[in-house]
């Protein structure tokens, strides 16, 4: 395979992957290693073992980057606690509620922003844009990019993709979306953001034409566990989600996330990262993309 040099020790990769975390606090990579994998490391290692046997070097062939935005909410949550002071009882359960549900509350879009200040929503979208551009910069031109999003990350990416389109609603295919070959979500809670929204206002977006010619391969695959109170199918929401599903562009797949102790309860929400069905799908996507790149 042709080697495209970025520098003396780097080459442009034929495939890109951007991973987006969900709700809750996340550990940031150390300043000295900004690209060190954190929350997606277990997924990466499992894929590495699988793909090595298929002649794919995940480290050498794929530009894999994590988007981090949880730190944007930390200050908001800390200020919330400061304002409440001793009027509430601090507990682990309350902390989980604030750090998880608080993320979703802090993220919701604001129509107006203070002078010189950006909302949490805007900051999150800027973080996504920065990571996406980094992945693109590390790949050969027009390389296929796979976006993998967990939980709230699905809503974050939905907003990002929708922002690609012009203000008049015309579904143009912009540069930052046209190279996304597959969008994979798991534990997705987009439907929770749409409670009470009329079905005719349930708008998603058009997938890039470049990757939707094969109807047997949906562009958006959404994995969910029926026991996960934070993960939902999308097609039943109706509106454009149903249209995408009917056109073969969106597919909901039910899985059992987690292990024997967690897959039957709320803790299944964190079990998607090691789910064999999801890992097999991602591995197959990367393998196919590498084979096409070598043609």
pLDDT tens per residue across span 6-60: 333 479 999 999 999 998 888 889 999 999 999 999 999 999 999 999 999 999 9
Residue 286's CB is within 10 A of a number of other CB atoms, namely 24
| d(C-alpha 76, C-alpha 72), whole Å | 8
4-68+120-293 falls under which CATH superfamily? Alpha/Beta hydrolase fold, catalytic domain (3.40.50.1820)
- Residues near 293 by beta carbon (within 8 Å), at least 6 away in sequence: 1, 14, 15, 140, 143, 144
Indicate the domain borders of the chain.
4-68+120-293
Contact 120, 106 (CB under 8 A): yes
What is the spatial distance between Cα 145 and Cα 286, in angstroms, rounded to a whole number?
A: 9
**In this predicted structure, what is the pLDDT of residue 194?**
87
CA angle 237, 242, 244 (to 5 degrees): 130
Q: In which band, very low, low, confident or very high, does the pLDDT at 190 lie, cut at 50, 70 and 90? A: very high
- Return the SS3 of 212: coil
Give the containing element (helix H, strand E) for 12: strand 10-12
Contact 214, 288 (CB under 8 A): no
What pLDDT was estimated at residue 236? 94
List helix spans (H) across 53-140. 58-61, 70-84, 92-107, 120-137
DSSP state of 155: H
Per-chain mean pLDDT for the chain = 84
φ, ψ for residue 147, nearest 5 deg: -110, 125
* Residues 54-98 pLDDT 10s: 999 999 999 999 999 998 887 777 777 788 888 888 776 676 677
- C-alpha 258/C-alpha 256 separation (Å) is 7
Which structure tokens are listed for 257? 């996330």
Could you identify the residue written with the tokens 């709320």? 266
Structure confidence at residue 101 (pLDDT): 75
24, 254 Cβ separation under 8 angstroms: no
């Amino acid at each position: 395979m042709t080697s495209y040099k970025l520098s003396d020790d780097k080459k442009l990769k034929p495939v890109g992957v951007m991973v987006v975390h969900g709700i809750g606090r996340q550990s940031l990579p150390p300043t000295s290693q900004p690209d060190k994998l954190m929350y997606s490391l277990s997924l990466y290692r499992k894929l590495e073992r699988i793909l090595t046997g298929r002649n794919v070097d995940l480290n050498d062939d794929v530009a894999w980057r994590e988007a981090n935005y949880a730190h944007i909410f930390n200050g908001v949550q800390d200020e919330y606690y400061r304002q409440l002071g001793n009027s509430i009882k601090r507990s682990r359960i309350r902390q989980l509620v604030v750090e998880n549900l608080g993320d979703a509350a802090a993220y919701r879009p604001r129509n107006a922003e203070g002078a010189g200040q950006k909302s949490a929503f805007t900051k999150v979208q800027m973080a996504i844009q920065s990571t996406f551009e980094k992945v693109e910069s590390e790949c050969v031109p027009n390389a296929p990019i796979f976006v993998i999003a967990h939980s709230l990350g699905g809503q974050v990416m939905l907003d990002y993709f929708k922002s690609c389109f012009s203000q008049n609603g015309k579904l143009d295919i912009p540069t930052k979306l046209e190279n996304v070959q597959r969008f994979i979500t798991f534990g997705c809670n987009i439907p929770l953001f749409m409670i009470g929204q009329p079905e005719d206002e349930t708008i998603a977006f058009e997938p890039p034409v470049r990757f939707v010619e094969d109807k047997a391969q949906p562009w958006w695959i959404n994995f969910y566990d029926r026991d996960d109170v934070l993960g939902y199918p999308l097609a039943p929401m109706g509106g454009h989600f149903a249209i995408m599903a009917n056109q073969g562009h969106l597919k909901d797949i039910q899985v059992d996330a987690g292990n024997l102790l967690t897959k039957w309860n709320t803790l299944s929400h964190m079990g998607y990262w090691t789910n064999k069905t999801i890992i097999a799908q991602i591995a197959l996507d990367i393998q196919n993309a590498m084979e096409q790149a070598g043609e």
